[in-house]
């Protein structure tokens, strides 16, 4: 009984100090919801495009209604076969991939994949890309008024295809052009996924913000390679590929930190996030939301345990919401 | 001062969160001055990032550890050490812990009509065929043709035989069974009698040969394929193969993890491995 009273006293002390700090009441369940443009998510945790299929692949393993959003595999105007195999190679602390944006195409997605996603009470963010400016515009037009699609994420950063993708992601004018075009075609929340394979990512981030993006997600994979010394062949048929996993996390964190200080729109942090500790680092660096990528392959429950961890962390810190944590890095 | 790899003798938790570890350190005491320190590397290699796919060899049930406790179901994996991941696996001991995701993918189609079945295994490719044979042999004749490089790579023969599956072994060097390729043995068998279906697992060159043999004898064939896999559930698209009728204009790609790992041979584009 005494112990219970003691705990209550501590809790109420925390409550009042939290209130004084403008952080609300911590007695209830912390509110993990975040807003990205006009889109409100129940929590900031979502899969990174390309690591979660079209959602259904993981439906038997995790409760899709506990994550903040579902982000689809990148779609193109027409179906795309992608690159030859081998397409993946394990590396220290991560993996390389050169899948080459294999996808069913936007029409087959709408016909075959979207009906399942509509039955899930979680916002769907459709990732897409084009080989040309016109293709970006055309895919955007098809998604513009589509029920069941809450937001789009424009990929201007895939390192594994010759045309499109990264061509638009490494030149601020080209990035501005493609995002402006998509913005004109689509009123839904518009996220732009940025490449780290550039000298200064903040230049592109500012360009796409200026073009009307509602948020930026950073980072896509870092270009890398791996060699089999016995055959002297590259471990990927594409020779080079995109590096993901914990190995890239410090780089991703640094870029999220830099971008968050340069733009006013929300930053979605991606890059090697595996657990709650990683997730919190991104939030403190300035990320409003998070995408979990290759960790899904290794631990399908990773996103759920991050959601649980955020709730625990907020409760432990007496935070009623995540807001005060975002960009709260202490540098003095 | 020296850098050496050594053995942990004991590692005892003397109080919650506090440990006392002893490691073998020959001639160390003479050199060490009181107050000096050592640098310990706890693991020589970084842990592999990805999981590894393994076919289930068999399942079983162990009796309870003591009265009143439930029986203990297990899965048994039969695997070959081929790289870093399997080497670490091979060093595991009873009591160590591992994460398992499964069961995944599609196994052999056992509802493929009555009649004899021939199983063909190349080396470690025997792994997915045991439970398949065990199930099929209940109501039909099942033969296993097992090919390997040498006798050391001929695995689990007695377990198949104990199920009533007739087993024919061939090795490249003739160190066990007949000398020659398992595909030659298959051809001889098909000359004598035609089974309802052939089910095979092994290296791709072997499977390609079996596919062309089965085509010429008009025997339906199911193959279990191996691939580098990232996720095991169809999300990463690392393990795709070309399906029959694939073209770049109208892609027909299959994931080994989700659409397979067992395929009817007619659904696979065999020219991708030529």
Cβ–Cβ below 8 Å for A297 and B253: no
Give mean pLDDT, residues A151-178: 83
Shortest distance, CA A238 to any CA of chain B (angstroms): 13
Those of residues 190-209 in A touching chain B at CB distance below 8 A are none
Nearest to A297 among B99, B236, B253 (CB): B236
Residue of A51, A52, A53 best to disrupt the B interface, most CBs of B under 10 A? A53
| Tokens (6 digits) for A31 | 């509110």
Shortest distance, CA A299 to any CA of chain B (angstroms): 9
Give the integer Cα–Cα distance in Å for B218 and B195.
10
User: Per the domain annotation, does A15 fall within a domain?
Assistant: no
User: Per the domain annotation, does A247 fall within a domain?
Assistant: yes
**Cβ pair B164, B134 in contact under 8 A:** no
Closest CA to B199 of B106, B116, B118: B118
Residue whose token pair is 């595999």: A73
Residue of B84, B101, B231, B248 best to disrupt the A interface, most CBs of A under 10 A? B231
**Cβ pair A48, A291 in contact under 8 A:** yes
Output the CA–CA distances (angstroms, integers) from residue A318 to A43, A277, B79, B122, B249, in the order listed. 17, 17, 50, 61, 56
Give the integer Cα–Cα distance in Å for B241 and B256.
7
User: Per the domain annotation, does A77 fall within a domain?
Assistant: yes
Share of chain B above pLDDT 70, in %: 99
Query: ipTM > 0.95?
Result: no
- Give the tens place of pLDDT for each residue, B141-169: 999 999 999 999 999 999 999 999 999 99
B145 bridge partner residues: B120, B168
User: Per the domain annotation, does A1 fall within a domain?
Assistant: no
Contacts (Cβ under 8 Å, ≥6 apart) of A269: A217, A218, A252, A253, A256, A282, A283, A285, A286, A287, A289, A290, A291
* Catalytic residue (choose from A158, A218, A274, A314): A158
Q: Picking from A59-68, A235-244, B38-47, which range would have the lowest pLDDT averaged per residue?
A: B38-47
Those of residues 293-312 in A touching chain B at CB distance below 8 A are 294, 296-300
pLDDT band with cut points at 50, 70 and 90 for residue A27:
low
Phi, psi of B254, rounded to the nearest 5 degrees: -120, 140
**Cβ pair A52, A296 in contact under 8 A:** yes
Judged against a pLDDT cut of 50, whether residue A26 lies above it is answered with: no
Q: Does A158 qualify as catalytic in the annotation?
A: yes
CATH code for position A287: 3.20.20.70
Give the integer Cα–Cα distance in Å for B22 and B41.
15
Greatest pairwise CA separation for chain B in angstroms: 80
- Give the tens place of pLDDT for each residue, B211-257: 999 999 999 999 999 999 999 999 999 999 999 999 888 889 999 99
User: Per the domain annotation, does A198 fall within a domain?
Assistant: yes
Closest CA to B119 of B133, B109, B106, B107: B133
pLDDT band with cut points at 50, 70 and 90 for residue A159:
low
Closest CA to A276 of A325, A220, A228, A227: A325
Rounded to the nearest integer, the mean pLDDT of chain A is 91
Q: Picking from A102-111, A190-199, B35-44, B106-115, which range would have the lowest pLDDT averaged per residue?
A: B35-44
Q: Please tell me whether residue B229 adopts helix, strand or coil conformation.
A: coil
Q: Please tell me whether residue A40 adopts helix, strand or coil conformation.
A: strand
Shortest distance, CA B169 to any CA of chain A (angstroms): 31
Domain that holds residue A62: 36-325
Whether the link from the prior residue into A50 is cis, omega within 30° of 0, is: no
User: Per the domain annotation, does A75 fall within a domain?
Assistant: yes
Total domain count, chain A? 1
Contacts (Cβ under 8 Å, ≥6 apart) of B174: B180
Judged against a pLDDT cut of 90, whether residue A28 lies above it is answered with: no
> Which pTM was predicted?
0.88
Give the integer Cα–Cα distance in Å for B252 and B267.
10
Q: Picking from A90-104, A152-166, A263-277, B73-87, which range would have the lowest pLDDT averaged per residue?
A: A152-166
Q: Please tell me whether residue A143 adopts helix, strand or coil conformation.
A: helix
Nearest to B51 among A85, A89, A298 (CB): A298
Cβ–Cβ below 8 Å for B101 and A50: no
- What ranges make up the beta strands (E) of A185-323? 189-193, 215-218, 222-225, 227-228, 233-234, 240-244, 267-270, 289-292
Shortest distance, CA A303 to any CA of chain B (angstroms): 15
Q: Please tell me whether residue A35 adopts helix, strand or coil conformation.
A: strand
Higher pLDDT: A159 or B233? It is: B233
For residue A99, which residues of chain B lie inside 8 Å, CB to CB?
Answer: 236-238
The pLDDT value recorded for residue A162 is 56
- Give the tens place of pLDDT for each residue, A273-327: 999 999 999 999 999 999 999 999 999 999 999 999 999 999 999 999 999 999 9
| Interchain contact A81–B (C-beta under 8 A) | yes
Give mean pLDDT, residues B77-84: 92
For residue A61, which residues of chain B lie inside 8 Å, CB to CB?
Answer: 101, 233
User: Per the domain annotation, does A11 fall within a domain?
Assistant: no
Give the integer Cα–Cα distance in Å for A17 and A111.
53
Of the CA atoms within 13 Å of residue B67, those in its CB half-sphere come to: 0
Cβ–Cβ below 8 Å for B99 and A299: yes
Judged against a pLDDT cut of 60, whether residue A19 lies above it is answered with: no
User: Per the domain annotation, does A13 fall within a domain?
Assistant: no
Size of interface A-B (CB pairs under 8 A): 89
- Give the Cβ contact number of residue B104 at 10 Å: 15
Give the integer Cα–Cα distance in Å for A321 and A314.
7
| Interchain contact B243–A (C-beta under 8 A) | no
| Interchain contact B49–A (C-beta under 8 A) | yes
């Amino acid at each position: 009984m005494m112990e219970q009273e003691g705990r209550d006293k501590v809790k109420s002390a925390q409550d009042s100090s939290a209130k004084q700090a403008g952080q609300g009441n911590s007695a209830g369940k912390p509110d993990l919801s975040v807003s990205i443009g006009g889109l409100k998510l129940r929590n900031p945790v979502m899969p990174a495009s390309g690591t979660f299929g079209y959602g259904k692949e993981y439906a038997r393993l995790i409760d899709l209604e506990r994550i903040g959003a579902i982000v689809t595999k990148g779609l193109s105007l027409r179906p795309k076969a992608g690159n030859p195999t081998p397409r993946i190679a394990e590396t220290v602390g991560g993996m390389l991939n050169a899948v080459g944006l294999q996808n069913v195409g936007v029409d087959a997605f709408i016909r075959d994949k979207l009906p399942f996603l509509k039955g899930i009470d979680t916002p769907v963010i459709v990732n897409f890309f084009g080989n040309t400016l016109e293709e970006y515009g055309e895919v955007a037009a098809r998604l513009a008024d589509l029920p069941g699609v809450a937001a789009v994420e424009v990929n201007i950063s895939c390192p594994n295809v010759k045309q499109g993708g990264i061509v638009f992601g490494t030149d601020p004018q080209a990035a501005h052009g493609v995002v402006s075009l998509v913005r004109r075609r689509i009123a839904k929340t518009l996220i732009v996924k940025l490449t780290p394979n550039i000298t200064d990512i903040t230049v592109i981030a500012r360009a796409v913000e200026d073009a009307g993006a509602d948020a930026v997600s950073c980072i896509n994979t870092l270009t890398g390679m791996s060699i089999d010394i016995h055959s002297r062949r590259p471990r990927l048929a594409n020779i080079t590929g995109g590096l993901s996993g914990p190995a890239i996390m410090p780089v991703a964190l640094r870029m999220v930190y830099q971008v968050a200080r340069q733009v006013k729109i929300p930053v979605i942090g991606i890059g090697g996030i595996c657990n709650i500790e990683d997730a919190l680092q991104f939030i403190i660096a300035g990320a409003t939301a998070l995408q979990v990528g290759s960790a899904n392959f290794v631990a399908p429950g990773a996103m759920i345990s991050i959601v649980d961890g955020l709730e625990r962390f907020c409760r432990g810190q007496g935070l009623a919401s995540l807001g005060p944590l975002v960009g709260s890095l202490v540098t003095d | 001062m020296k850098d050496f790899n050594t053995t942990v003798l004991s590692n005892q938790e003397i109080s919650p969160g506090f440990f006392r570890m002893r490691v073998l350190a020959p001639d160390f005491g003479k050199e060490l001055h009181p107050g000096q320190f050592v640098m310990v590397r706890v693991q020589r290699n970084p842990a592999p990032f990805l999981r590894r796919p393994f076919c289930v060899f068999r399942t079983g049930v162990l009796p309870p550890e003591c009265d009143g406790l439930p029986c203990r179901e297990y899965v048994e994996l039969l695997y070959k050490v081929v790289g870093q991941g399997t080497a670490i696996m091979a060093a595991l001991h009873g009591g160590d812990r591992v994460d398992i995701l499964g069961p995944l993918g599609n196994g052999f189609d056992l509802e493929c009509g009555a009649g004899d079945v021939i199983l063909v295994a190349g080396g470690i490719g025997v792994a997915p065929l045991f439970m398949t044979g065990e199930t099929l042999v209940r109501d039909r004749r099942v033969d296993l043709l097992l090919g390997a490089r040498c006798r050391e790579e001929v695995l689990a023969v007695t377990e198949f035989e104990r199920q009533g599956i007739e087993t024919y072994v061939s090795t490249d060097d003739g160190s066990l069974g007949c000398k020659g390729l398992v595909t030659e043995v298959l051809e001889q068998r098909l000359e004598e009698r035609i089974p309802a279906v052939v089910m095979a697992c092994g290296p791709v060159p072997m499977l390609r040969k079996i596919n062309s043999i089965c085509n010429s004898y008009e025997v339906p064939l199911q193959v279990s394929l191996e691939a580098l896999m990232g996720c095991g559930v169809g999300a990463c698209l690392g393990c795709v193969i070309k399906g029959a009728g694939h073209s770049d204009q109208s892609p027909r790609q299959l994931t080994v993890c989700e659409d397979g790992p067992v395929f009817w041979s007619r659904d696979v584009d065999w020219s991708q491995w030529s």
